[in-house]
Amino acid sequence: MPVPAAHHTAARGTSEHAAAQQQRPERLTTDDDLFVRMEHALGVGVINQAVWRLDGRLSAENFAGLADRLRQGRLSRVVRRRPAPCRDAWHYTEAAGTDVFESAPVGEGAATAWAQHQADRGVDSVRGPAWRLSAAYSADGRATYVSLIVAHAVGDGWSVVTAVEEAVRGTEFDTRIDRSRWTDDIADGMRTATAAALAAARLTVAALRSRRDGRTAAPTTATGDPVQTTGADTATAASADQTPSVLLTIAADEFIAVADRTNGTPNALFVGIMVGLLERAGLVSPGDVVPVSLPVSMHPDGDRKANATTGTSAAIEISDGRYLDLTPIRAACRSAYGGVADRTSTLGHLSIVAQSLGDGLVRRLAANQSTPLCLASNLGQLSADFTGLGSGVDATVAVRAVTDSSPAELASLGGGISGWFCLGPETAGLAVTSLDPGRIPDQQSLSTLIRDELKNWRLNGRSWGA
């Protein structure tokens, strides 16, 4: 999925007065284009969602003020499609988003279901709304739940966090850009076609050199025998209405203490938990070397881009030793992050070629798409402005990416699990979604896997509820 995201090395800048440096009109990057094509060419829209539980009642006036500031910020844009090979362009408009403070309360233990309902409302990066902000009080009236869903094309994890921080702080974002004219489109189309031809040539040369040197670009995969999924399992998964997903909160100091005790970092511990879930689900076996997909943010300070995320893969060997020593996982992640530049060159060339093509060609080229065996997306340390939404009260946060695919569609893509992690001032948020409904068919099964895995790390997770 998808779900490329956020994250590990994100640095969030909030000064947006360098308008002179922006392109007019503002064209989509290749990263933006990827998610537009997933949504509108492949029918697999990716949605970023942040969910808050505020320990107090957020007033309707404060909620409306937050929504108004978001409407004036970086998320309030939609895509203007242009004919290939011209790149699509951004159109900023306050009508790009919508908000609602619901009258119906969130029942005890129903927070995850409420969050999923908000995600199911959907977004559209072209027709809008591109983002939705929702809120509701808990049934006992003591807490406020807030959800923000954003089309991934409009904003990756870094952009969503930065947009909320800017809205809370009142930081201005310049939305004054020119609309593309036909003369602009012709010139851009020529440049894009030329860039695509050069990128295709470089890919061809690289492939020939790789073949001559006897090298291969095949990814690292699990080495053990795969667990076979029965037809009954697949049928059960396909009949489910919801993709299994669990939201958890863990005390930040407890999480950091476990990472320190095992010679790791919060990121290494997060990856260790994710591969543990794979093993418990029967997706991998001891001794397997597992490719863990790690999204990496490439946003510089003050960036305007909606998406600037690349991906790398860490080769993690499945061993019980990880529960005592995270050094091997930490080293594997460090090695993966160090190789980001090499991987980006090939992926960048492919993205340039794809952006010059129409949706029909992209659809045919992506016919054998698949989702990752294990995605571990770490948003890193979150500010109090983001976690508290400017309310000044204690809050817990979970961030994740979801697709609008049905469980049956997900089952056909051959994935495993997707996890998102964030560390706030007081709590850590963990969101895990099953990408294999055949083997992890429901929320209860996923919750059991997570509970048992956290127990091995001596961690206590508080579920948001069913």
pLDDT higher than threshold 50 for residue 20: no
Of the candidate ranges 86-100, 217-231, 378-392, 413-427, the one whose mean pLDDT is the lowest = 217-231
**Which is it for strands 374-381 and 417-423: parallel, antiparallel or unpaired?**
parallel
102-143 per-position pLDDT tens digit: 999 999 999 999 999 999 999 999 999 999 999 999 999 999
281-314 per-position pLDDT tens digit: 999 999 999 999 999 999 998 899 999 988 899 9
**Which is it for strands 395-403 and 77-80: parallel, antiparallel or unpaired?**
unpaired
| Residue 6: φ, ψ to 5° | -115, -30
Q: In terms of pTM, does the model score above 0.75?
A: yes
Instruction: Name the one residue in this structure whose structure tokens are 């093509």.
Output: 357
Q: Which residues contact 315 (CB under 8 A, 6 or more apart)?
A: 220, 289, 290, 291, 292, 332, 336
417-423 β-sheet, strand order: 309-317, 289-297, 374-381, 417-423, 427-434, 245-251, 462-463
165-181 per-position pLDDT tens digit: 999 999 999 998 877 77
Q: Which CATH class is domain 19-173+181-463?
A: alpha beta
Position 341 confidence tier, pLDDT thresholds 50, 70, 90: low
Cβ distance 32 to 153 under 8 Å? yes
Q: Is 368 helix (H, G, I), strand (E, B) or coil?
A: coil
196-248 per-position pLDDT tens digit: 677 667 666 666 666 666 544 434 444 433 333 333 333 333 334 678 899 99
Of the candidate ranges 5-9, 77-81, 194-198, 212-216, the one whose mean pLDDT is the lowest = 5-9
Helical (H) or strand (E) element with 312: strand 309-317
pLDDT (0 to 100) of residue 399: 96
Closest residue by Cα to residue 172 from 389, 406, 344, 16 = 16
pLDDT (0 to 100) of residue 212: 62
Q: Is 378 helix (H, G, I), strand (E, B) or coil?
A: strand
pLDDT higher than threshold 60 for residue 21: no
Q: Is 310 helix (H, G, I), strand (E, B) or coil?
A: strand
pLDDT (0 to 100) of residue 1: 37
Cα–Cα distance, 459 to 457 (Å, whole number): 5
CA dihedral 32, 38, 40, 43 (to 10 degrees): -160
Cβ distance 116 to 242 under 8 Å? yes
Q: How far is CA 231 from CA 235, 236, 418, in A?
A: 6, 9, 23
Average pLDDT, the chain: 84
Closest residue by Cα to residue 436 from 291, 237, 228, 225 = 237
235-294 per-position pLDDT tens digit: 333 334 678 899 999 999 999 999 999 999 999 999 999 999 999 999 999 999 999 999
Rounded to 10°, the helix 443-456/266-280 angle is: 130
